[in-house]
Structure 1
Amino acid sequence: MSALRASLLKAIEELKSEVVTMADLVLNNINEAFLAFKTNNLIKAEALMKADDVVDQYEEDISKSALRVMWKEQPYAQDLRVVTGILKLVTDLERIGDHAADIAEQTIHIGDLKNQRLLPITTMMSEAAYQMVLNAINAFVKQNLELAKKVISDDDVVDQLFNDVMKSVTDQIKNETIDSQYAVSVIMVAKYMERVADHAVNLAEWTIFMITGEHKSTPLF
């Protein structure tokens, strides 16, 4: 192996390591945001809103590192796909981090309302969305094509749970058994969960691109 090739591989592994560190933080934030919502933990929610700045900084730093690798190491073929894919991955990770902050914000907005927060459905939805993100990251780390495809197929589960939340809230509004402010916040939180799952799909699609060179059935390079 040439010194040039060894330098490129080392740079790519360092990039991957930075992505994993960022992903761990995002996974923690989204899990804690779901927990804060379900348990009405306003202190935790406030802390999570502040923690989003760290995620934003990771995105900026990793993007700069990836661009330096492209300029300095001049990767091609699969190596170029990996670096390009990482640039896209960190954007979706940052947006998942944003949604963790969004959920925390809605938790604070609801405040001390003591509704049950539709726990059976929102719990299943948050767990499914979280697992999709976790599987998407593992697919990236292991470059596992089948796991990436599973993430994409699992999105249907989250979509159905979102529909279930909407139906439940709508029924409660009709029956006047739910506070209107609370109903809006629950719908918003469910929507953020759905978007987290959508970004997990994006993560999986970029991993597929790294492995196969194809993205959304369109050959690239």
Structure 2
Amino acid sequence: MRSALETQLRDLNRDVLQMGRLVSGMVEKAVRSLAQQDAALAQQVIDQDDEVDRMLIAIEMRCLQVMALQQPMARDLRAVGSSLKVVTDLERVADHATDIAEVTLKLAGEPLIKPLIDIPRMADLAQQMVREALEAFVQQDEAAARTMIARDHDMDDLYRAVFDELVEMMERDPGVVRQATYLLHVAGWLERIGDHATNLGEWIIYQLTGELNDLNT
């Protein structure tokens, strides 16, 4: 029974990691599609969201099967429960990547009101946080999870810089309000991806310690 459970948990970790890699790539492609005004790339991201939804359902079913058939206890049960929470946050990250890709389509053909600098930085940081969370999940590394969570302060700083700059542009030139508003949404979604990565770290810590604390402060 123990060997079967360990196999199921390894397979579960593999599936979560695969979903996480797909989601991280969606974030990168979504922001790149916006910066390069690449509608075809944006559509790829939107199409991939259906794949993420299918992966979410498959992993949820695997988790339920493990709980029903293997009856895990203590830390193993926390591992299964944490996996359910992790993939829920990953699915929401994919939704935000899709939101960004849809902005690309709405702005297709319009010259950008400014070169995108801090928004790609936010995207890079969001990807880094998701990747580090997944690595901590696979390696069962509490310290790495806490280090990743601390990066959310950098994400918040970048968001404030983007927000202030775009608001100032709108105050100076009402003609940029429409596009600046879309860009504010993009920055907000990237900031939320950082929050979801922080959630991943919190669930990893819970899995390892049994303690669940809100570290997104």
> Fold match, TM over 0.5?
yes
Report the counterpart of residue 150 of structure 2 in structure 1: 153
Question: How far did 1:117 drift?
Answer: 4.4
Structure 2 letter corresponding to 1:121: D
Q: In structure 1, which of residues 77, 80, 83 is the aligned counterpart of residue 77 of structure 2?
A: 80
Q: Distance in 2 between matches of 1:116 and 1:140?
A: 40
Give the TM-score normalised by the residue count of structure 1.
0.94
Unpaired runs of at least 5, structure 1: none
Structure 1 segment 46-57 matched on structure 2, within 5 A:
46-57=43-54
Q: In structure 2, which of residues 200, 206, 209 is the aligned counterpart of residue 209 of structure 1?
A: 206
The one-character-per-residue Cα deviations of 1:32-62 (angstroms, maximum 9, x if unpaired) are: 1111111111111122111100000000000
Aligned-pair identity in percent equals 34
The number of residues matched between the two structures is 215
Report the counterpart of residue 19 of structure 1 in structure 2: 16
Give the TM-score normalised by the residue count of structure 2.
0.95
Structure 1 letter corresponding to 2:142: L
Q: After TM superposition, which residue ranges in structure 1, 4 or more long, deviate above 2 angstroms?
A: none
Q: Distance in 2 between matches of 1:9 and 1:154?
A: 32
Q: Distance in 1 between matches of 2:45 and 2:114?
A: 19
- Note closer, same or farther for the CA distance 1:72–1:132 as it changes in structure 2 (3 Å cut): same
The one-character-per-residue Cα deviations of 1:153-201 (angstroms, maximum 9, x if unpaired) are: 1101111111111100011111117622111110010011001101000
Structure 1 letter corresponding to 2:8: A
Structure 1 segment 60-209 matched on structure 2, within 5 A:
60-176=57-173, 179-209=176-206
Asked whether the equivalents of residues 26 and 45 of structure 2 are also in contact (C-alpha less than 8 Å), the reply is: yes
Report the counterpart of residue 35 of structure 2 in structure 1: 38
Q: Distance in 2 between matches of 1:118 and 1:60?
A: 39
Q: Distance in 2 between matches of 1:177 and 1:111?
A: 20
Unpaired runs of at least 5, structure 2: none
Q: Secondary structure at the match of 2:94?
A: helix
Q: Distance in 2 between matches of 1:55 and 1:117?
A: 32
- Note closer, same or farther for the CA distance 1:117–1:66 as it changes in structure 2 (3 Å cut): farther
Between stretches 171-180 and 15-24, larger displacement belongs to: 171-180
